[in-house]
Structure formats: structure tokens, C-alpha cells
Amino acid sequence: MTVWQEFREFAVKGNVVDLAVGVIIGAAFGKIVESLVKDLILPVIGRLVGGLDFFNYFIALADPPSGYSGPMTYEALTKAGVPLFAYGNFITVALNFLILAFIVFWIVKAINRLRRQTPAAPPGLPEQVLLLREIRDALKAR
């Protein structure tokens, strides 16, 4: 078997296709969670604790380039090439992960519950066995 044939056999197996679909859906779902955290949750948390903007919490590890006159925001300084210790961005990414992990936990839990169905009752005894038992019991009664 050639390498190409082996690869083709591997690639068309159901598990690989399922994995590819899972990765694509996971990436799209990750974007949804990222938007949920960035656009809905963090602004509400920031408003509740006094107007915090997590994206602009950073420590500049170097001075901006000479002649830099732009704003001192995370986005502007990053574009200017200033190295930043961006702990606010880390908080955002950590929240993304926690929410995504929590949602995946509930999805897996629901799937496991569906898989855990009650086992089917064993099939009844064949009629011949029942008839033989009746004969045996009748002979014992004599």
C-alpha cells in the first residue's frame, strides 16, 4: 500500500471528518464566547466596579519610540511596537477560557446523560425452556 493510499484511507475515516467538523465549529464557538466576554460581560463588570476598562490595563516595559504622540492605549502602543505587560488582556482571555470550559462541561454532561440510557431488559426465555421447566416441575410433584 502506498503512502498516498494509506493517507486517503486515514483521511476518509469517520473520526477524522468528525474531528475536522468539531474544530471548525469549535473555532466559530470560540469567537462567539470571545465576543460575549469582550462586548457584553467585561463592560458590565467594568461599569459595576467603577468604569474599569480591562483592555487598557497594562504596564509598558519600554518607553514609546521617540516622537510618538499617539494615545497611551493598549492598541496604539502595541501598533507602535512598545512591549507591554498586558494583564488586562490576560484577564479577558482567562474569562473567555472559563466561560468556554463551563459551556463545554454542560454540553458533555448533557451528551453523557443521553448516552446513559437504561439497559434493555434481557430477552425472555425461549418457549422450549419454559415447557421443559413445566415438565420438570410436574415430574417433581409426583
Strand locations in the chain (E): 59-60, 84-85
CB-neighbour burial class of residue 77 (10 A; exposed 0-12, middle 13-18, buried 19+): buried
Return all residues near 92 (Cβ < 8 A) that are at least 6 apart.
37, 38, 42, 54, 55
pLDDT at 85: 93
Helix axes 87-115, 14-35, angle to 10 degrees: 130
What residue spans define the domains of the chain?
3-52+86-141
Query: Which secondary structure element, helix H or strand E, spans residue 38, and what is its range?
Result: none
Indicate the pTM of the whole model: 0.55
84 bridge partner residues: 60
Convert the pLDDT of each residue in 13-41 to its tens digit. Answer: 767 777 788 888 888 888 888 888 888 88
pLDDT of residue 123: 80
pLDDT tens-digit series, residues 42-86: 788 778 877 666 777 889 999 998 888 889 888 889 899 999 998
Distance CA 85, CA 100 (A): 24
Alpha carbons 136 and 14: distance in angstroms, whole number: 53
Q: Give the pLDDT of residue 29.
A: 85
